[in-house]
Chain A
Amino acid sequence: KNEVEQSPQNLTAQEGEFITINCSYSVGISALHWLQQHPGGGIVSLFMLSSGKKKHGRLIATINIQEKHSSLHITASHPRDSAVYICAVLSDSGGSQGNLIFGKGTKLSVKP
């Protein structure tokens, strides 16, 4: 079992739809990152959070430390949101302390 699991793996939505991507993790963490990766490889950090909720424009990220779960929401989705969204946790336990552990990503395609 992977230490960071994302769902769904692939997501197709119509423009304007509300989108949710989920991330569950099994290790102790000090922070969780949501990242966006476009074709061509460039990765952009969207959020880093360790508790509660953060909002930036149409993007909202929440985390529940007790349940070891985070969600990324996109409101009023747009075709330019099409990308791979990756959850990564900053481990604070044992031999992986300080290491970023990545999920496999969720490929989002928003159709006009």
Chain B
Amino acid sequence: DTGVSQDPRHKITKRGQNVTFRCDPISEHNRLYWYRQTLGQGPEFLTYFQNEAQLEKSRLLSDRFSAERPKGSFSTLEIQRTEQGDSAMYLCASSSTIGQGLNTEAFFGQGTRLTVV
């Protein structure tokens, strides 16, 4: 297992188009997080899954954003009708809960850089 992988690494799209990103977490990790990061800012939480259940969504996640993790393994993040303000780095991270719900370290993917033109 080579860690968390994200695909694609870069995406340029025209305003109004739909885009989908994929994240493959570390295989034994049951938690998967999506974050968005704009230049000069720390990552902002979007949503996270425990197994296939989406446990929390940020207010930042408008109805144009949807995320799935159908089999509790890889996850997809779709943005519909993209806007220029969606341009950002989209980061995925995974971790594992063990024992009494304690979390192991979070491991991050390289991110998908989205540019909406």
Contacts and interface: CB of A to CB of B under 8 A. Distances in A.
B13 interface: no
A109 B12 CA distance: 31
Interface residues of B, number: 27
B37 A100 contact: no
A43 to B, nearest CB: 4
A96 B56 contact: yes
Given A98-B56, A101-B45, A35 B108 contact: yes
A41 B91 contact: yes
Contacts of A21: none
Interface string A61-98: 00000000000000000000000001010100001101
Contacts of B41: 104-105
Contact of A99 (B45, B102, B105, B111): B45
Given A98-B50, A102-B43, A30 B89 contact: no
Contacts of B110: 40-42
Given A41-B111, A41-B113, A102 B106 contact: no
A30 B108 contact: no
Contacts of A95: 56
Contacts of A102: 35, 42-45
A68 B107 CA distance: 24
Nearest to B90: A41
Contacts of B108: 35, 42-45
A31 interface: yes
Interface of B: 31, 33, 35, 37, 41-45, 48, 50, 55-56, 89, 91, 93, 101-108, 110-111, 113
7 contacts: A30-B101, A33-B105, A40-B110, A41-B91, A41-B113, A100-B93, A102-B45
Given A40-B110, A45-B105, A98-B31, 5 more contacts: A30-B103, A43-B111, A45-B106, A45-B107, A99-B33
